[in-house]
Structure 1
Amino acid sequence: MGGRSERNEFLLLHAFHERGFIPPDKIKRSKDNLLVRHPGVSKPTSEATSRPRKKAAYEGGLVLEPKRGFYDKFILLLDFNSLYPSIIQEFNICFTTLDLHPPTDADNDFESYIPDVPETGLEPGVLPTEIRKLVQRRRQVKQLMKTVTISKEQYTQYDIRQKALKLTANSMYGCLGFSNSRFYAKPLAALVTRQGREILLHTKELVEKMGLEVIYGDTDSIMINTNSTDLDNAFKLGNQVKSEVNKLYRLLEIDIDGVYKSLLLLKKKKYAALSVQKSIDGSFSTVQELKGLDIVRRDWCDLAKMAGNFAVNRILSDEPREYIVEKIHENLEEIGRKVKENMFELEKFEIRKELTKDPNLYPGKDNLPHVRVALRVNSSMT
């Protein structure tokens, strides 16, 4: 809790100090009162609350409404590389390039104010500069990983280092939106996410102008239906989209993050797919990928997972659709019969839920969180 924030805080403290800036005061908290000194605000504001907000109080990433259904043509997944850090660099977003105070004639206050992007031609701000340094250092470390003479231990150390540099760069945006951070600045955080939403919408419009169908999008990625059963053609279309989008920006880059042979898109953040993977010898194979489905959650019983996995495996197969539906119905009827005849072990019905909060944090009985505990259900019960 707060580990990443502290790491970024000290990195930025050094960076601002080197350029002659006085950083904002550290946030001071008490049990019943939270004092927040916003960057650029002379007096701290008092928020009467005993617990800080866990969710950002501004609009986040855009999630496009999914076109639900089953797709048996190749689907492209394109993803922006480190979207928020790249936006900070692309538009030079920083305390040193923007005025965080709303105009005097504006109707909104500091909490709801979102500034416009800085003018072009300004000196790079501290935030973009520090992110660029982290990105360049990570690139150097990844080059060292390609050295033939390094040992396995050195490779592991370099890998840990490049992941740490990536994490620090990616969490630079997070310190702007984290209310307990010394560098908390909601206007900057809201500006970054607003630019992210505009970029995703603009990318969707560009792809559709190219005659392709966008079936889903989430924050920094989009799914495109190629309407093609030819893998080479799918990659060709993906590279065309990648080239057209990347022409629009200096530092923002979109890349092909995945190709799906078939896809079952159920709702936002929930889908099952057969992902195409390339092996060392150049051949292609498929690997099942499940996102957000109930059957991958721990708080579902094994029997439900067993039935769900059977259905998903059938749906993603190349078998005829009528045959698939028939087999799924047969399997569900068989499971129902076995449940009625008590043919499954009791363990198949166990539901597990891990408790992640300390009950001692809720001394009053009225403040106890609603939790679900492990249930053992007799299979003979309806």
Structure 2
Amino acid sequence: IMESSLSTEILTLDRVAKELIGKGKQDMEWSEIESAWREKENLEKIAEYCLKDSELALELGEKLLPQIFEICKIVGQTPFDISRMSYSQLVEWLLIRKAFQRGEVVPRRPKHEEIQKRRMSPPYTGGYVLEPKEGIYSNIALFDFRSLYPSIIITHNISPETLDCTICEECKRGESRKNTDPDGKHYYCTIRTGFIPQTIRELVEERMEIKKRMKKLDKTSEEYKKLKIRQHVLKIMANSSYGYYGYPGSRWYSRVCAQSAASWGRFYIKKVIEMAKAKGYTVIYGDTDSLFVKMKSKKEALEFLKETNASLPGLIELDFQGIYKSGIFVSAKTGGGAKKRYALMDFEGNITIRGFERVRRDWSKIAKITQERVLEVVLKDESPEKAVKMVKDVIDKLKRHEVRKEDLVIYSQITKRIGEYEQIGPHVIAAQKAIKAGRKIEVGSVISYIITKGPGSISSRAEPVDTAKDYDEEYYIKHQVIPAALRILSGLGYTEKDLYGEQEKGQTSLKGFLQK
């Protein structure tokens, strides 16, 4: 339930620990663990490795448990249940608690048939996305709306009982029509405050009050730390409320309310984009509640922020996140997969990555390292050409068989019994060979293998790392290094032929991708 508040997109122990407590796992390759266990040598190193993992888990627990306990206080459920609930379930139990306190009737839980019917409904239009003009940019200001959807629900009083209200005399006279959603289909009462908007408002107002108190406290004090956890949990709960209207299992389900909130979200992001364009700024990319704009300085960004917020109603407010020295943007159409695909570098050289999926278990170390270096070169040197040369150097090393064996290992987990696999991938073949060699492979085992040279399919040439004598350079070039590099470079106009071919078409024209 804490995933949305993390910067990392990879929920490994190492990445989460580095972000939350500032330290990661002890370096030890899986092949080293296997070898030490099999040979019964250096077992103390495995013990140290496991001890470090346990210490990290304990420290993470000490860090996260107070947040879970704080959610328990707000929602009124046990830690066991809280840690297994979805965001929508957390919101529902909060609403049930609030309804009881106010003497409101709690709607019945929908039956299975009703839930299935809701799930079969066609999807409605979500957030607005302004696809980026791909390339490298400098001086990028990042803005995002502060809790956009909760703010919309509160500001426009979006709730099932305020929808198309005909109870209030003012609504009967049409006075609430001024609060009609941008799609022009539904309006919301401006006289009675809805149950859900009121509940969310209480969360938001309590958080604002806590933040005021925090400013007066010493940051090292226990009270400050407790309040910091409380305000963070209140933020999580408020931000989770939007998805609840469209959650099929919701007691307060309202597809119309979800659609209206989404339409106002599109309206406000488009409004801010148009305001930026009207002032002559280049809007590089916009997505749901955030936008990236080329601006010369922080002062310029803050002036735009002040003017923009003066035009926004109610609690809807734009936040300035900072100015970045450089960034690379790739559209979803080019890169495939994730909607958000960009990397930013601040003026201290720190890199923030979204959507490039640097870490995948089915990528070898050589592929991961290559992609990381491509990003660094592109952002720090603003030189795609230098990045391409670096990739070509890696390819040449692979061709000359100068790459270390440990940099070629691919790791895959066995998720079922070997005989139950219908599709026989490389990891299954490698596992079968390991079993024949006398190794014990069970469900949950991680198999490490290398793709070797020879006849047959790629899968048939997967060899357990301890028996692999050589590697297939063509496989590692075409299926590992090039795809990893092109996740970034394809957005700058490069193709596989540019990285692995005699022709170097497009090199001169690619200068246009450097958006100064």
TM-score w.r.t. length of structure 2: 0.57
Are positions 1:317 and 2:383 aligned together? no
By percentage of residues, which structure has more helix? 2
Q: Could you say which residue in structure 2 is the equivalent of 1:239?
A: 302
Give the Å deviation of 1:359. Answer: 6.3
RMSD of equivalent CA atoms:
3.3
Give the Å deviation of 1:353. Answer: 5.4
Match of 1:59 among 121, 125, 136: 125
Q: Could you say which residue in structure 2 is the equivalent of 1:266?
A: 330
CA contact (8 A) 2:165 2:188 kept: no
Aligned ranges 1:64-103 → 2 under 5 Å? 64-72=130-138, 74-99=139-164
Match of 2:247 among 171, 178, 192: 178
Q: Could you say which residue in structure 2 is the equivalent of 1:107?
A: none
Instruction: Describe the shift of the 1:75–1:56 C-alpha distance in structure 2 as closer, same or farther (beyond 3 A).
Output: farther
Q: Could you say which residue in structure 1 is the equivalent of 2:450?
A: 376
Aligned ranges 1:54-203 → 2 under 5 Å? 57-72=123-138, 74-99=139-164, 115-119=185-189, 121-148=190-217, 152-203=221-272
Q: Give the secondary structure class of the aligned counterpart of 2:261.
A: helix
Give the Å deviation of 1:243. Answer: 1.8
Structure-1 separation of matches of 2:242 and 2:122: 12
Q: Could you say which residue in structure 1 is the equivalent of 2:274?
A: 205
Instruction: Describe the shift of the 1:65–1:150 C-alpha distance in structure 2 as closer, same or farther (beyond 3 A).
Output: closer
CA contact (8 A) 1:298 1:353 kept: yes
Instruction: Describe the shift of the 1:84–1:132 C-alpha distance in structure 2 as closer, same or farther (beyond 3 A).
Output: same
Q: Give the secondary structure class of the aligned counterpart of 1:137.
A: helix
Instruction: Describe the shift of the 1:329–1:10 C-alpha distance in structure 2 as closer, same or farther (beyond 3 A).
Output: closer
Give the Å deviation of 1:166. Answer: 0.9
CA contact (8 A) 2:129 2:288 kept: yes
Q: Could you say which residue in structure 2 is the equivalent of 1:6?
A: 89
Instruction: Describe the shift of the 1:182–1:70 C-alpha distance in structure 2 as closer, same or farther (beyond 3 A).
Output: same
Moved more, 198-207 or 264-273: 264-273
Per-residue CA deviation, residues 13-40 of structure 1 (Å, 9 max, x unaligned), is 24345555433211233xxxx334xxxx
Per-residue CA deviation, residues 117-142 of structure 1 (Å, 9 max, x unaligned), is 325x4222112211111012122333
Q: Give the secondary structure class of the aligned counterpart of 2:258.
A: helix
Q: Give the secondary structure class of the aligned counterpart of 1:314.
A: helix
Give the Å deviation of 1:5. Answer: 2.8
CA contact (8 A) 2:160 2:252 kept: no
Structure number with the bigger relative contact order (C-alpha 8 A, sep ≥ 6) is 1
Q: Give the secondary structure class of the aligned counterpart of 1:337.
A: helix
Give the Å deviation of 1:332. Answer: 2.4
CA contact (8 A) 1:134 1:165 kept: yes
CA contact (8 A) 2:109 2:250 kept: yes
**What letter corresponds to residue 135 of structure 2 in structure 1?**
G
Instruction: Describe the shift of the 1:125–1:263 C-alpha distance in structure 2 as closer, same or farther (beyond 3 A).
Output: same
The answer for unaligned runs of 5 or more in structure 1 is: 37-45, 102-112, 229-233, 277-284
Per-residue CA deviation, residues 60-114 of structure 1 (Å, 9 max, x unaligned), is 1111111111113x1111100000000001111112211499xxxxxxxxxxx99
CA contact (8 A) 1:62 1:200 kept: yes
Structure-1 separation of matches of 2:278 and 2:412: 47
CA contact (8 A) 1:114 1:191 kept: no
CA contact (8 A) 2:143 2:320 kept: yes
Larger Rg: 2
Q: Give the secondary structure class of the aligned counterpart of 1:47.
A: helix
Give the Å deviation of 1:352. Answer: 4.1
Instruction: Describe the shift of the 1:156–1:63 C-alpha distance in structure 2 as closer, same or farther (beyond 3 A).
Output: same
The answer for unaligned runs of 5 or more in structure 2 is: 1-83, 167-182, 333-339, 429-446, 453-469, 475-516
**What letter corresponds to residue 377 of structure 1 in structure 2?**
I
CA contact (8 A) 2:92 2:251 kept: yes
Structure-2 separation of matches of 1:70 and 1:301: 27
CA contact (8 A) 1:83 1:196 kept: yes
Match of 1:252 among 305, 316, 323: 316
Q: Give the secondary structure class of the aligned counterpart of 2:114.
A: strand
Q: Give the secondary structure class of the aligned counterpart of 2:380.
A: coil
Q: Give the secondary structure class of the aligned counterpart of 1:317.
A: helix
Instruction: Describe the shift of the 1:207–1:353 C-alpha distance in structure 2 as closer, same or farther (beyond 3 A).
Output: farther
CA contact (8 A) 2:210 2:231 kept: yes
Structure-1 separation of matches of 2:309 and 2:366: 47
CA contact (8 A) 1:64 1:217 kept: yes
**What letter corresponds to residue 247 of structure 1 in structure 2?**
A
Total equivalences in the alignment: 327
The sequence identity of aligned pairs, in percent, is 31
CA contact (8 A) 1:215 1:224 kept: yes
Per-residue CA deviation, residues 181-235 of structure 1 (Å, 9 max, x unaligned), is 2222111111111110111111111111111111100000111112x3xxxxx21
